[in-house]
Structure 1
Amino acid sequence: MGQIRNILFVMYDQLRHDYLSCAGHPTMKTPNFDRLAAMGVRFSRAYVQSPVCGASRMSFYTGRYVHSHGAAWNNFPLKVGEATLGDHLRRLGVESWLVGKTHMRADAEGMARLGLSPDSVIGARVADCGFDVWIRDDGLVAEGPEGFYDSKRSPYNEWLRQQGYEGHNPWHSNANSGIDENGDLASGWLLKNAAEPANIREEDSETPWLTRQAMAFIEGHKGGAPWLCHLSYIKPHWPYIVPAPWHDLYGPDDVVPPVRDMAERDDPHPVFNAFMNNQPGQAFSRDDVRLSVIPAYMGLVAQCDDQFGKLLDYLQASGRMDDTMIVLTSDHGDYLGDHWMGEKDLFHDPSVRIPLIVYDPRPEADRTRGTVCDALVEAIDLAPTFVEAMGGVPPAHVLEGRSLAPFLHGEPVTGWREAVFSEYDYSAMALAGNLGLGPNEARLFMVFDGRYKFIHAEGGFRPMLFDLETDPQELVDLGKLPGHEAEIERLERMLFDWARRPAQRTAISHDEILGMRGKSRRYGIIIGAVDPDELAPDLRAKISGRAGRDYRG
């Protein structure tokens, strides 16, 4: 057990915080996730900065709030100039590599304006969130009447064709579809097919494929420079369909009852009402859908856990556990019918709260192994944690999170944050138009101080408020009830203070600013002095003395 040489940053897509057995799920079994938790620290109150793939991931990769980096929804470009994990780590001699998904769209216009060619090393890094790419596959090779959702090539789809899977899109027809009783395609896009096994060999499905890619990366970098490997899985994200033997590992009896109440439909907040009544919300409000889909979701999680176990075995056998920090997390959760909703999008805990387990191999972390930390943690805390782990000093004027090292090492922590913040920009969704909102109005902001969760909605709507001490399941919206004006005002003020932070002042550090104080006089800028005696001798020396030739006449 020594110093950290490498970081394995594992992210699952749409993995709920409570679908781990170590987090208390009554029927879900995740022995390998639990295995990591026994070796590290599980953070029980970790929150993403936006409950949607693209925006959340850009906050992970930049260490900055969505309000700062601006990539506020899926396929909103991350603007050129945003520093990323790769930028921070390369300064420390650490390579930063991607295996899997980023859901990042490059700022092509900004790159062209600056003359950055996507074919250059710098241009490729800018186009891939600062990572060097071992293999990138964003995992949604969906196709509709206007073409593919993701126009980039899919290495996984190409690999499937090389393995003999037929058709132009085996990602859909095999990895994410089954075969019905009539021999027809049972598309994973249709929730009624969730119980069908995917028409693919288990070892050829997405999760094992990416695990093998990660192992190949580690094998290929033995003895090289220190690295961060971002192993980014697409599952258990929809389509909700899974290959055998995982498709029937769980059944309806393993599905926990939904967290919802009819009172939530009584005079709901207009934005909440719109999400409850969109197609995913209507579908997951049906018990038959939940009892079909959730066992498939659990099967996807179980396969992820199984593959994670293979990865841990490999790291232990190769001796990499002694010098590799391992992080397990997710980009957001999944409602799965809770609060009458499907998908993610809003700020109830099933959506905005994530699993986070950190294994630190250093001896300083021995005292915290197997513990649970209930501090309020944000996804943006990982970037400064990584920088510090690799021997750097996190630049506080750029990275807006805080290092988790004190919690990992059992050290006293003072002045930790009072609240976590999350944002959601739904301006590109059809329901924003249905609500009559323009792009600047379809935005939500969450403040959670550990007890009260406050949600501000632009567009002239009232706020939402939940008291998780008396209502831990977030069923009663106090924002529509009298008597809570003081808490709403307090949390609004907290949001206002957060919004006023100097988030765009990233080109100069706090120490540089402090060093500039009073220095203009040292460079001859004298403002307000009336008499030379008011100035220090060395200052007045430059503006005193005999005049030269008189040119006035």
Structure 2
Amino acid sequence: MNVLWIMADQLRWDYLSCAGHPHLHTPNIDALAAKGVRFTNAYVQSPICGPSRMSSYTGRYCHSHGATWNGFPLRVGEPTLGDHLREIGVRPVLVGKTHMVADAEGMKRLGIDPTSDLGVLLSECGFEPFERDDGMHPYGPYDPEPAYDDYLRSQGFEAENPWEDLANSALGDDGELLSGWLLKYANMPANIPEEHSETPYMTRRAMEFMESAGDQPWLCHLSFIKPHWPYIVPAPYHDMYGPEHIKPPVRSQAERDNAHPVFEAYINSRICRSFARDEVRERVVPCYMGLIKQIDDQMGVLFKWMEERGLMENTMVVFTSDHGDYLGDHWMGEKDLFHDQSAKIPLIVYDPRKEADATRGMARDELVEAIDLAPTFLHAQGGKPKPHVLEGRDLAPLLHDAGEIEWRGYAISEYDYSTRDARATLGVDQADARLVMLRDARWKYVHAEGFRPMLFDMASDPDELNDLGASNAADVLAVCERMEKALSAWARRHHSRITKSAEQVDHMLATREPPGVLIGYWDEEEFEADFGKPFSERP
């Protein structure tokens, strides 16, 4: 079996028609959901690009891999999904974005040439880079040809920085560049024909890989950079939606008036003050919807192409994102905190195996984590489980059984705000600037080091407008105590003991000391009673 793992950067879980959006119609993604399983409670392990992706690519929590913020390298030696798949003869390939930063110091210390085959794999989260596109970082020592900028130049589009000046800018009436970085121009068409913009280009590159892949099984990670900012989209998508298609913001004055200190520090930041303005939402949200509509149209092109070649018969297709986008909800912009607009993601899994026929078209509400994908792929492609390394759970039981299944009781997500303005506002030491979310079937609990917790009753308050964390009511205190105990138990688990499996540990117990080592025996008789053979026959 092959795997096509599609990730749309910064795509909210609820901006698909199959998830209930009233105006944004995504028939091709919906069709994938109709053939597979749509998970309605899927959470990332950190609501920010880099750490979220490092968790997805390793199958491990941020607590374990240590790359807790954008620009924090994934350390050399941290095992990745690509490493596990290569062991069983699967070719793991990247087309698009990883947000990976190489551990250059670690490679230097170990004498690894960053341009060698090993160095490239260590720099790309274990993926073979068929094409890497990290947007505002269009060049680097690990980018294979042809890179997106080189492609644009080959098509006659000349610019100092084609990615910014063409794909992510508009043109004014006098031919001046209007940068997509400025939210004012989000309603303008990008300065490039639609077929040459990033989303269709990367879709074609994925098809080019699949066309050339041969008989070796593969995993292709098609990782779109959109609908992530800069918020700008080419015609005809730039004006498909207008203010009448914007859902009202999910927020209340009460949540602002009674804000948790960390939440308050964020909503008072420049980014959040900007996105709380109606004029910003009226420019950005229709553009964001247009970017998603373009992705859905490209999914139609891609899935039709795969059907024509029989690839849907032996390829697991997964559609997801690395986090969401507040878009002004909860007075917030960007992502960062743990409201569902930010930490919850769309997750659709189409499994072509006959065992999955019983669940086709289902929407499942079990608590699923992004780290579940790595063990799911490993198992689907014939690998043995590695629970001592991969902290996620294989989704196969949820994909193959339509009944009730015993599953995890909570999902975990972590956030390191040590490099953010909120830390300076609060006067928090960098070592304490961390948040951890624990979400169970009813409650969402956020541990905030040095502050009171946040707590939301997702049953009575699904919009998360009423933070109960400051309450002294007995029932609330009991929930907080239970959630904190569960979080503490999770933190005490083995997160870094990955070089020995449970079976190997049990074998070490059964065989006791290493061969030739005898400790504490008084005489030959005591030895013989323990080992069942004379001392002279000891190993």
TM-score normalised according to structure 2 size: 0.95
Residues 264-284 of structure 1: per-residue CA shift (max 9 Å, x gap): 111311110111111221111
CA 1:522/1:247 → structure 2, altered by over 3 Å: closer, same or farther? closer
State the superposition RMSD in angstroms: 1.9
Distance 1:453 1:14 in 2: 21
* Match of residue 168, structure 2, among 165, 172, 176: 176
Distance 2:116 2:158 in 1: 35
Instruction: Please name the residue that 2:46 is paired with.
Output: 50
Kindly, what percent of the aligned residue pairs are identical? Answer: 58
TM-score normalised according to structure 1 size: 0.93
CA 1:94/1:151 → structure 2, altered by over 3 Å: closer, same or farther? closer
1:206 maps to a residue whose letter is E
Q: 1:517 and 2:509 equivalent?
A: yes
Distance 1:265 1:259 in 2: 12
Distance 1:518 1:295 in 2: 63
What pairs with 1:126-165 in structure 2 (closer than 5 Å)? 126-141=122-137, 155-165=147-157
Residues 85-142 of structure 1: per-residue CA shift (max 9 Å, x gap): 1111111111100001100001111111111112221221111100111011111249
CA 1:289/1:538 → structure 2, altered by over 3 Å: closer, same or farther? closer
Instruction: Please name the residue that 1:469 is paired with.
Output: 459
1:257 maps to a residue whose letter is P
2:122 maps to a residue whose letter is V
Shift of 1:430: 2.9
Instruction: Please name the residue that 2:411 is paired with.
Output: 420
Shift of 1:462: 1.1
* Match of residue 41, structure 1, among 25, 32, 37: 37
Distance 1:177 1:237 in 2: 14
Shift of 1:328: 0.3
Residues 210-252 of structure 1: per-residue CA shift (max 9 Å, x gap): 011001101111x331000000000000111110000011111
* Match of residue 318, structure 1, among 282, 289, 309: 309
Q: 1:255 and 2:251 equivalent?
A: no
CA 1:95/1:401 → structure 2, altered by over 3 Å: closer, same or farther? same
CA contact (8 A) 1:12 1:232 kept: yes
| Residues 161-170 or 32-41, more deviating | 161-170
2:153 maps to a residue whose letter is R
Distance 1:473 1:414 in 2: 27
Instruction: Please name the residue that 2:318 is paired with.
Output: 327
Distance 1:151 1:527 in 2: 54
Shift of 1:400: 0.2
Residues 478-521 of structure 1: per-residue CA shift (max 9 Å, x gap): 01122111111111111100101101000000000001114235
Residues 349-403 of structure 1: per-residue CA shift (max 9 Å, x gap): 0000000000000111111111111110000000000011011122000000010
2:85 maps to a residue whose letter is L
* Match of residue 443, structure 2, among 431, 449, 452: 452
* Match of residue 280, structure 1, among 271, 276, 295: 271
Residues 172-230 of structure 1: per-residue CA shift (max 9 Å, x gap): 11111112344422211111111111111000101011011001101111x33100000
* Match of residue 491, structure 2, among 499, 505, 524: 499
| Residues 162-171 or 198-207, more deviating | 162-171
Instruction: Please name the residue that 1:344 is paired with.
Output: 335
* Match of residue 204, structure 1, among 165, 175, 196: 196
* Match of residue 11, structure 1, among 7, 11, 17: 7
Instruction: Please name the residue that 2:55 is paired with.
Output: 59
Distance 2:212 2:515 in 1: 54
Distance 1:389 1:335 in 2: 34
CA contact (8 A) 1:532 1:540 kept: no
Shift of 1:539: 3.7
What pairs with 1:353-368 in structure 2 (closer than 5 Å)? 353-368=344-359
CA contact (8 A) 1:14 1:236 kept: yes
CA contact (8 A) 2:123 2:142 kept: no
Shift of 1:524: 4.5
Q: 1:78 and 2:74 equivalent?
A: yes
Distance 2:404 2:500 in 1: 27
Shift of 1:438: 2.3
Q: 1:185 and 2:180 equivalent?
A: no
Distance 1:185 1:400 in 2: 47
1:480 maps to a residue whose letter is A
Distance 2:430 2:530 in 1: 57
* Match of residue 32, structure 1, among 16, 28, 33: 28
Give the number of aligned pairs: 533
Instruction: Please name the residue that 2:295 is paired with.
Output: 304
CA contact (8 A) 1:37 1:358 kept: yes
Distance 1:307 1:362 in 2: 25
2:313 maps to a residue whose letter is D
1:128 maps to a residue whose letter is E
CA 1:522/1:431 → structure 2, altered by over 3 Å: closer, same or farther? closer
Larger-Rg structure: 1
Shift of 1:165: 2.0
1:309 maps to a residue whose letter is G
Residues 44-98 of structure 1: per-residue CA shift (max 9 Å, x gap): 1000000000000001100000110011111110001111111111111111000
| Runs of 4+ displaced beyond 6 Å | 150-154
2:165 maps to a residue whose letter is S
Shift of 1:534: 3.9
- Unpaired segments of 5 or more residues in structure 1? 143-147, 546-553
Residues 126-170 of structure 1: per-residue CA shift (max 9 Å, x gap): 11100111011111249xxxxx9x897692122222222232112
What pairs with 1:393-404 in structure 2 (closer than 5 Å)? 393-404=384-395
| Residues 341-350 or 264-273, more deviating | 264-273
CA contact (8 A) 2:358 2:402 kept: no
| Residues 483-492 or 133-142, more deviating | 133-142
CA 1:90/1:411 → structure 2, altered by over 3 Å: closer, same or farther? farther
Distance 1:411 1:88 in 2: 29
Task: Please state whether the residue corresponding to 1:87 is helix, strand or coil.
Answer: helix
1:95 maps to a residue whose letter is R
CA 1:97/1:532 → structure 2, altered by over 3 Å: closer, same or farther? same
Shift of 1:532: 4.5
* Match of residue 239, structure 1, among 230, 235, 244: 230
Distance 2:194 2:39 in 1: 32
